[in-house]
Every structure is written in C-alpha cells, then in structure tokens.
C-alpha cells in the first residue's frame, strides 16, 4: 500500500487478534491526512471504522486520549498473550521432564536387573560348582550380557541429546570396546565360552554396574535423583557420593586387564580357525593381527577413560571443599555477629 504521507516504521506496531491483524501506523510528520492512501479513490478492500474516526476539527486532547487507550489495550492484550504462551511452554516443559524422568528410570532399572542377574548367577554358580561352573557361564548369562551391552548404546544417545549431563564420547568409547570383545571376540568362537577369563570378565563387568547401582553410581544415580536426595539421610548420601567416585579405582583397571587377556587368549583360536580372515588377491586381511592392533587401541582408550574419571573425581572433590569452606565462613560470620 502506498500511504498518503510517510510513516515511521520504528514507532509503528501491530498485533494479531482472532479477527485479523491490526496495525497502528505512526506518521512521520504530525499533520492532518485527508485520506489513508496516496490515490484519491479509496480501494474497495478498505473500510472505515467509525469508532476510531477523527475529523480534522476534533480536539488534540481527545485524539491523544484515544491513542493512549488504544496503546494500553494493545499492551494489555500483548501481556495476556505472552502469559498464555509462557503457561503453554511451562506445561510443555513439565510434560517433557515427566517423560524424560520415567524413561531414564525404566532404562536404568532394566540395566540394573540385567547386570544383577549376571553377577548373582556367576557368583552363586562359582560357589556351588567352583571351576566346573566356567563351562556353562555363556549358556546362563551370554544372552543377557549381549542384551545389556547393546542397550548400553543408549547411554551415548542420552548424552548426545542432553538427557544426562555427561560427555558423549566416553560412554561411546566404553560401549564400543565392550561390544567389540563380546560380539567380535567371544561370541563367534565357541571354544572361548568355557574359558575362565569369560567368567571373570562377565563377573567384573556386572560387578562394576551393580556396585554403581548399590552405591548410587550410574543407574541409581539418576533414579535416586528422581526421588530427591533430600529424602536420604545426609551421612548415607555423603558415603554414596564418595563411593560413586572411588569404587571404580580397583574395578576399572581390573576390567581393562581382563579385556586385554581375553583378546590375547582368543588370538590362537582365530589363527587356527581363520575366522574373519580373507584373501583378496595379493592382499590378506588377517583378523588376529587386527585383534593385536586393538590391544593398543584398548590401552589408549582405557587410559583416556581413566583420566576422565580422575578429573571427574578431582572436580567433585574441589566442589565439595569449596562448599565446606563457604559453609565454615558463614558459620564464622554468624558467630561474630552473635558475639557483637
């Protein structure tokens, strides 16, 4: 539309109503307009709202008063619309948080039950049958271990999409490493099933996860947070916090050593069976060689993961010391005020 005179876009405004879109155009120069558009004949799509009509002879005060009323009505309606939008957004966030909470609870509970079954099965069967229990470890726990390890990829997804506050790379490294050993070293070679290292490895892996659960480590860490730490006794909460960042110190290095020993033990079997080894003309893909190369990758990945967990433990300890110093300073300040 070509207006009769220039308007000021900076001061002009508009609002959206159920009936349509209303514009309040502010003139660039304060002077009377005999019409709205540049052309003398009014376009057919324009209609006059006589409730807001003003003649040139109307007093300036009436025009200003009407203008103020319209501005106030616009502000009130904008504020109401903003409040409604904020209410809808808060309801949407609450629904998303509810779904997130129960999804993490269900996932963590499933993992805890699976690893508990593996750990209890390995321990009880060893207590009952001693070394004879090694030959049936895979039969009793292999399917459950594969299910739990495949489900563990969701930890990377949770971190990547922001469901949990952690870096995605570290759960990805751990999950890829365990799944490689499980699906590319143990599962394809049946002669590996009755070996003691498989039982020791399954026991260690499940012990890490179950211990984390009992002491509010990995899976229960989220589940107890859903309940609220204020519902736990303070001393129990502190002990569980300390164990969460300390129990990995003996378990993780043991797990890496068992993983390396499992690969070292499997190499002769794959050299004899030549599984996953292929000949392409002059070139040969020798799978046992790839397994040996993976041992070096395991050492690098394990070192990286341990350094990350050490940093996490130090950061948590530093935060705790900072809070204790702040609490002590507040207590000293309160004591000085009491003395004064």
Active site residues: 252, 259
pLDDT value of residue 218 = 46
pTM beyond 0.85: the answer is no
**Burial (CB count <10 Å: 0-12, 13-18, 19+), residue 259:** buried
For 125, residues 6+ apart whose C-beta sits below 8 A from its C-beta are: 133, 136, 137, 140
Task: List helix spans (H) across 35-59.
Answer: none
pLDDT value of residue 266 = 94
306 within 8 A of 253, measured Cβ to Cβ? yes
pLDDT tens for each residue of the chain, 340 residues long: 888 888 888 888 887 777 778 888 888 887 878 778 888 777 777 777 766 766 666 555 666 777 777 778 777 887 888 788 888 888 888 888 888 888 888 888 898 899 999 999 999 999 999 999 999 999 999 999 999 999 999 989 988 988 887 788 888 888 999 999 999 999 999 999 999 999 999 999 998 888 766 654 444 555 555 555 545 556 666 666 676 667 777 888 888 899 999 999 999 999 998 888 888 888 888 899 999 999 888 888 888 877 877 787 777 666 666 666 777 777 777 766 655 5
Among the listed residues 116, 137, 126, 121, the one whose alpha carbon sits nearest the alpha carbon of residue 211: 116
pLDDT value of residue 216 = 46
Sign of CA dihedral 193, 151, 237, 331: positive
pLDDT value of residue 339 = 58
Q: Is 306 helix (H, G, I), strand (E, B) or coil?
A: helix
């Amino acid at each position: 539309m070509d207006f009769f005179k220039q308007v000021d876009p900076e001061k002009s405004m508009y609002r959206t109503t159920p009936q349509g879109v209303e514009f309040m155009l502010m003139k660039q120069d304060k002077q009377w307009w005999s019409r709205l558009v540049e052309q003398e004949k009014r376009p057919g799509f324009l209609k006059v709202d006589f409730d807001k009509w003003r003649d040139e002879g109307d007093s300036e005060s009436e025009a200003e008063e009407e203008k103020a009323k319209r501005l106030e009505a616009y502000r009130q309606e904008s504020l109401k619309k903003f409040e409604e939008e904020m209410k809808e957004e808060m309801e949407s966030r609450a629904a998303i948080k509810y779904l997130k909470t129960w999804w993490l609870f269900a996932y963590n509970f499933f993992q805890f039950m699976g690893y508990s079954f593996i750990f209890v099965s390995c321990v009880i069967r060893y207590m009952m049958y001693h070394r004879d229990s090694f030959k049936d470890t895979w039969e009793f726990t292999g399917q459950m271990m594969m299910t739990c390890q495949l489900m563990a990829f969701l930890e990377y997804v949770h971190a990547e999409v922001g469901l949990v506050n952690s870096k995605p790379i570290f759960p990805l490294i751990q999950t890829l490493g365990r799944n490689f050993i499980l699906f590319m070293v143990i599962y394809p070679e049946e002669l590996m099933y009755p070996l003691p290292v498989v039982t020791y490895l399954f026991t260690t892996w499940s012990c890490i996860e179950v211990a984390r659960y009992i002491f509010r480590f990995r899976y229960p860490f989220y589940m107890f947070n859903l309940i609220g730490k204020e519902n736990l006794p303070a001393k129990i909460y502190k002990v569980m916090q300390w164990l969460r960042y300390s129990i990995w110190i003996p378990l993780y290095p043991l797990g890496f050593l068992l993983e390396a020993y499992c690969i070292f033990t499997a190499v002769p079997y794959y050299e004899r069976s030549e599984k996953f080894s292929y000949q392409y003309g002059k070139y040969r893909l020798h799978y046992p060689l790839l397994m040996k190369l993976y041992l070096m990758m395991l050492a690098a990945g394990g070192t990286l993961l341990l350094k990350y967990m050490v940093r996490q433990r130090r950061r948590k300890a530093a935060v705790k010391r900072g809070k204790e110093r702040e609490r002590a300073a507040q207590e000293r300040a309160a004591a000085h005020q009491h003395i004064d």
